[in-house]
Amino acid sequence: QVQLVESGGGLVQAGGSLRLSCAASGGTFSRYFMGWFRQAPGKERNVVAAISWSGGETYYADSVKGRFTISRDNDKNTVYLQMNSLIAEDTAVYYCAAGYSSEYRWVGTRGEEYDCWGRGTQVTVST
């Protein structure tokens, strides 16, 4: 069971950038695919981006393609979400999540595929 702690959220103006970090501990980080999810008030929690064990495979929601980049550093047990060109619709609580797979290329895109979740970090984009 991996423990996850997000950081890097905050208030940013539209068009600006933020980088979220998720530090993992308590497990073999490299054996987990990782994802970022977000949930806005009154909305469902949806996947934003995900990355496989090795970082060689990624997934992005259509709404963030070309603006967000997920990456991981297994030596530092950390996954990142670089968010550029932020818009008001990006305002949400962002959650880091980890899931185990025996397939190192697997990228989970559904919440039920993930076993461990961080507490979330608020991202607010002002206009």
pLDDT digits (tens, 9 = 90+) for 59-68: 999 999 999 9
Cβ atoms of 51 and 101 within 8 Å: the answer is no
- % residues pLDDT > 70 (the chain): 100
| Host H or E run for residue 121 | strand 121-126
> pLDDT-derived band of residue 104, with 50, 70 and 90 as boundaries?
confident
What pLDDT sits at residue 21?
Answer: 98
> pLDDT-derived band of residue 103, with 50, 70 and 90 as boundaries?
confident
Cα-Cα-Cα-Cα torsion 113, 54, 25, 121, nearest 10 degrees, comes to -60
Cα distances (angstroms) measured from residue 21 to each of 6, 41, 101, 105, 109: 6, 22, 22, 22, 19
What's the number of CA atoms in the CB half-sphere (13 Å) around residue 65? 6
